Amino acid sequence: MRAGLSKKIITIFITVVISLLATEVLLRIFGTGPWKNVLINDSVTEKLIYTPDSTLGWKAKEGSYLLLPTNPKGKQFHLTIGKDGQRKTGENNKDVDGEILVIGGSFSLGWGVNDEDTFSSKLQKKYTNFKVYNFGQGGYGSVQSFLLLEKQIPKMKSPKLVIYGFIEHHEYRNVARSHWLRTLAKYSRLGTVNTPYGLIGKDNKLIINPPIGYINLPLKEVSALITLFEKAYMKNISTKKFPRDSKRKKQQKLVTEETILQMKEISNKFDADFVLVILDFSNRLTKDQYEIFFKRNKIKFVNCTIPLIDEMVLLGDYHPSKKAHTYYNECLVDYIKKQKLIF
């Protein structure tokens, strides 16, 4: 009797192992492989440019970096970060009339172009009687940009203008969509792992939750099956503080709108004007809906979008080129003049 039971257990075990192995082989045949981290270039992996932050998720680390382009035919670029995570913008007059704060993601940071070629640096060159701070951070959405603004604006002596560089993908990041968390995890060698996210509560108020990251199971680097399980888990997990991905998707536009409202409120609290600059948006209908929202809530905004093709985009990358940043600067300067914002 014991021998028969042992035989059944062994048979079941062998069957399960064979089934798992067969599933692993089929997954790989149909394109699902084990987990692989994405390595941008050797210079980044040797010297991390981001450091974890308990509130923001991550923040650029002070230092001077020479980074390789995504495309081997592209150009290296210099990235200089100050003590508060801000990017170098150039020189200003010794005595200034106030500060201009730029916030946003990698478009605002100026990923892929030299320090002096970002639209923030060009603004500094134009307005030498103001100190321009570029607090753009790679991978940030509206929620992180707001949290950073909340930390930095009280440190300013006389903030006059806050500029938020808005792109379409920010609303996707703002609710920590599962695919975005997966993307961050794949670039984890940069330190961009966990991200705060927003939800709309029962009273229709914005709730910003602490940073959350992608699940990390053992043996994912060798098993396609584990990688697939992680993906399914992150898409379907549902808790009170972290509802299912599909529910977060339904809230992403409202979360983005409420976050932008809070950006405006805290800017005005410190007597600074708030301007939202649209840098990239492919969905015309959604962009028009946002513009209606901005007008209804008296949010100053300017549409500086351009087709990111040819000379306006980095080679083998979707980030704006030096020429695109020149356009963004001219678009902003023109708007600032028309609105008489800092005079």
Q: Are 110 and 120 in contact (CB under 8 A)?
A: yes
The mean of the pLDDT values for the chain is 90
Cα–Cα distance, 82 to 105 (Å, whole number): 17
User: Does pLDDT of 44 surpass 50?
Assistant: no
Q: Are 103 and 135 in contact (CB under 8 A)?
A: yes
Of 18-22, 59-63, 324-328, the one with minimum mean pLDDT is 18-22
User: Does pLDDT of 202 surpass 70?
Assistant: yes
- Residue predicted with more confidence, 301 or 3: 301
Q: Quick one: average pLDDT of 78-88?
A: 96
- Report residue 226's pLDDT band, with 50, 70 and 90 as the boundaries: confident
pLDDT at position 131, please? 96
Cα–Cα distance, 293 to 290 (Å, whole number): 5
Cα–Cα distance, 187 to 285 (Å, whole number): 31
Q: Quick one: average pLDDT of 60-72?
A: 88
User: Does pLDDT of 43 surpass 50?
Assistant: no
pLDDT at position 280, please? 97
Q: Where are the domains of the chain?
A: 1-31, 42-339
- pTM to 2 decimal places: 0.91
Q: What are phi and psi of 55, to 5 degrees?
A: -100, -45
CA distance between the termini of the chain: 93
Q: Quick one: 42-339 is in which CATH superfamily?
A: SGNH hydrolase (3.40.50.1110)
pLDDT at position 70, please? 77
pLDDT at position 100, please? 97
What region, left, alpha or beta, does residue 10 occupy, with left being phi > 0 and alpha being psi -120 to 50 degrees? alpha
